[in-house]
Chains A and B, each alone.
Chain A
Amino acid sequence: MSFENYDWSDVVPIEQDDGPDPLAQIAYDPEYSKAMGYFRALAQKNEHSERALTLTEKIIEHNPAHYTIWHYRQQILFSLNKDLYEELDFIRNQVEQNPKNYQLWHHRQVIVEKLKDCSLESSFTEEVLNDDSKNYHAWTYRQWVIRTFNLWDNELSFVEKLLEKDIRNNSAWNQRYFAIFYNPTKPSEEFLEQEVQYGITKIKLAPNNISPWNYVKGVIAKSKLKIDVLEELCKTLYQQGIISPHALGCLVDIYEDRAKCGSINEKELGIQTCILLAEQHDTIRQKYWNYRKHVLTSIA
């Protein structure tokens, strides 16, 4: 039922008062103005009713980022003891139009917290990520669900699915790290070594894709391995004529490590690689590579 079908005869709408010389006034849609007029009147007397609930729906339709309306809606839902599973449906319908709206996602969190039921959340976030696999809100909400309800078990296979669709999905790589390292069950050293190999396989598929490089380095940092476990990969790529600034950059990291341990030969190799990057293969970041060269040069 539309909000207009309710009896509003007892309500005096309160018009928007922006003062005599309003700053940056807006010409509103008349339906929205009407709904807002009623809202101001109802909010003043803190009315929690069906007509108020329907009103919030109309306003959200026009302006989903109107956070005060979402608060009001929550209050009404709880005081009228409404079916919160219906509300989850409502949110699901809204998310299609407004997938990146902060209020909508937090509203869902508030409802799920109240329900203490996460059974629909995995498929809900999966649906949203099917439309936009990098939706930041969907990912952080999904992480909240996993942490709050301990749903760690299937996350790696979910990430796997997404990486298969798009190996360059940085959000999925981040989620992989989350699923392993934020998991209360800590990974074994063996598992981490497998993950490094996994990363290397994916790097080979798209050597210029930075995400698996960052991921693998992150895993190495948490393991007993050292970064030179990637040396063979980097050199092989170069020998195959595949120029990846990430591979060359990784070599710089390896050479720098060894230079710090006293290797003069590696110090020189590192400097040469920085020059190669600055002047040929990653010229837009010339100043960064010149800095790395300077750091190497300064190693005693």
Chain B
Amino acid sequence: MINFYHALAGFSGVSFMASTEKTERPSELFIDLHVKYIQSLDTKKDDLEYWLTEHLRLSGVYWGLTALDLMNNVDALNKEEVVKYVVSCQHDNGGFGGHIGHDPHLLYTHYAVLILQIEDSLDAVNVEKIVEYVASRQDRQTGAFTGDEWGEIDTRFSYSAISCLSLLKRLDAIDVKKATEFIMLCKNFDGGFGSTPGAESHAAQIFCCVGALAIVNSLHLVDADLLGWWLCERQLKNGGLNGRPEKLEDVCYSWWVLSALSILGRVHWINKEKLTDFILTAQVSFTHLFMIGNFHLKALLLTA
């Protein structure tokens, strides 16, 4: 069993890539260490600037909370405080910012709804205003969604909008047909999806597009065999997954790739044993900070 401080130090590293340095491969997931790690973020002494930089604190809360939820430990964060904090991020137009005083944005609006759903506290906010805000992000001509009033377009936002409204049971507020059309414009020759029409296929964008299509019952538009193959081709000899051909593997792709495959009913096309090995080894090296707590847990549960 690895020393507690060694493991915690590993998680606290401000690094950006999963490393598969040669290290003793643990045989288990250190659940209690992960819980302690997430809780430890709630102290003033912590300086995990990259993980919880102010503008995305709301996302940080979601990733921490959902990781705890997976470990059956949602109460490790105080529910009342979480809800109060989320509420304080809402603007008059219904959108949520990444933190108090930050401009509203579709991404954080989605995160807010996800958190409130986990905490069963949607009644704490003005839901109708949220619906209005999300709907206002859709360009009715192209079906695409902008992240905010400044106009950035990306299929990440299509997913955020569709997922958010689906959770609120208000998909009627947008033009679903047009939204679907735009997503399909982002489908590429290799069966994958990019951020905008013509953009390179990327595992994270594929997760967004496949997820969105699944929610609106349009998975039949995807060539599941072709895309499934593209996704399982992400697995490298060391068992890890990359996000695009000829790129390096990273733990976060376990989430994007596996969840997309899972939606397509083809998660078994990934070699589970080799991926598990890779993830558990990455557990004790430097990693993407907030992602490790959630992504790899979700990945392991998907392959369990």
**Contact partners of B78 in chain A: CB under 8 A:** 21
Known: A71-B103, A71-B150. A24 touches B61 (CB 8 A): yes
**Contact partners of A134 in chain B: CB under 8 A:** 244, 247
Contact A144 B196 (CB under 8 A): yes
| Contact for B195 among A18, A140, A170, A286, CB less than 8 A | A140
Q: Does A23 contact B (CB under 8 A)?
A: yes
Contact A284 B189 (CB under 8 A): no
Q: Does B201 contact A (CB under 8 A)?
A: yes
Known: A23-B81, A140-B199, A211-B246. A67 touches B102 (CB 8 A): yes
One of A80-88, A118-126, A185-193, A214-222 at the interface = A214-222
Known: A23-B42, A168-B246. A68 touches B81 (CB 8 A): no
Alpha-carbon gap, A287 to B102, bound state (A)? 47
Alpha-carbon gap, A19 to B100, bound state (A)? 10
**Contact partners of A65 in chain B: CB under 8 A:** 53, 55-56
Contact A139 B199 (CB under 8 A): yes
**Contact partners of B77 in chain A: CB under 8 A:** 23
Alpha-carbon gap, A147 to B239, bound state (A)? 39
| Contact for B47 among A16, A27, A139, A285, CB less than 8 A | A27
Q: Does B24 contact A (CB under 8 A)?
A: no
Alpha-carbon gap, A107 to B61, bound state (A)? 27
Q: Does B101 contact A (CB under 8 A)?
A: yes
Tell me the chain B residues, 61-120 only, with Cβ under 8 Å from chain A.
61, 64, 77-78, 81-82, 84-85, 88, 97-98, 100-103, 105
Contact B246 A26 (CB under 8 A): no
Contact A174 B200 (CB under 8 A): yes
Tell me the chain A residues, 187-227 only, with Cβ under 8 Å from chain B.
209-211, 214-215, 217-219, 221-222
A13-32: contact bitstring with B at CB < 8 Å (1 yes, 0 no)? 00011110111111110000
Q: Shortest distance in angstroms between A296's beta carbon and chain B's nearest beta carbon?
A: 13
Tell me the chain B residues, 214-233 only, with Cβ under 8 Å from chain A.
228-230, 232-233
Alpha-carbon gap, A25 to B82, bound state (A)? 13
Contact A182 B269 (CB under 8 A): no
**Contact partners of B269 in chain A: CB under 8 A:** 285, 287-288, 291
Count the A residues whose beta carbon is within 8 Å of the partner chain — how many?
59
Residue in chain A with minimal CB distance to B244: A170
Residue in chain A with minimal CB distance to B77: A23
Alpha-carbon gap, A21 to B80, bound state (A)? 11
Contact B189 A19 (CB under 8 A): no
Q: Does B263 contact A (CB under 8 A)?
A: no
Alpha-carbon gap, A214 to B43, bound state (A)? 50
Residue in chain A with minimal CB distance to B101: A40
Contact A215 B82 (CB under 8 A): no
| Contact for B98 among A17, A67, A168, A284, CB less than 8 A | A67
**Contact partners of B52 in chain A: CB under 8 A:** 24, 26
Contact B246 A217 (CB under 8 A): no
Q: Does B300 contact A (CB under 8 A)?
A: no
B11-45: contact bitstring with A at CB < 8 Å (1 yes, 0 no)? 00000000000000000000000000000011111
| Contact for A288 among B56, B82, B100, B229, CB less than 8 A | B229
Known: A285-B232, A288-B228, A288-B232. A214 touches B190 (CB 8 A): yes
Contact A287 B42 (CB under 8 A): no
Residue in chain A with minimal CB distance to B245: A170
Alpha-carbon gap, A106 to B107, bound state (A)? 15
Q: Does A56 contact B (CB under 8 A)?
A: no
Alpha-carbon gap, A168 to B247, bound state (A)? 10
Contact B44 A143 (CB under 8 A): no
Contact A26 B47 (CB under 8 A): yes
Q: Does A54 contact B (CB under 8 A)?
A: no
Alpha-carbon gap, A221 to B247, bound state (A)? 26
| Contact for A143 among B56, B97, B101, B198, CB less than 8 A | B198
20 CB-based A-B contacts, threshold 8 Å: A21-B81, A24-B46, A24-B52, A24-B57, A24-B60, A36-B54, A63-B55, A67-B102, A67-B103, A68-B55, A106-B150, A109-B152, A136-B199, A139-B200, A171-B200, A182-B197, A210-B233, A284-B235, A285-B271, A288-B232
Interface positions of B (Cβ within 8 A of A): 41-49, 52-57, 60-61, 64, 77-78, 81-82, 84-85, 88, 97-98, 100-103, 105, 148, 150-152, 188-190, 194-202, 228-230, 232-233, 235, 237, 239, 244-247, 268-269, 271, 274
Contacts A27-B47, A136-B202, A168-B246 supplied; 8 other A-B pairs, CB < 8 Å:
A18-B100, A25-B46, A26-B48, A67-B148, A71-B150, A140-B196, A144-B196, A211-B245
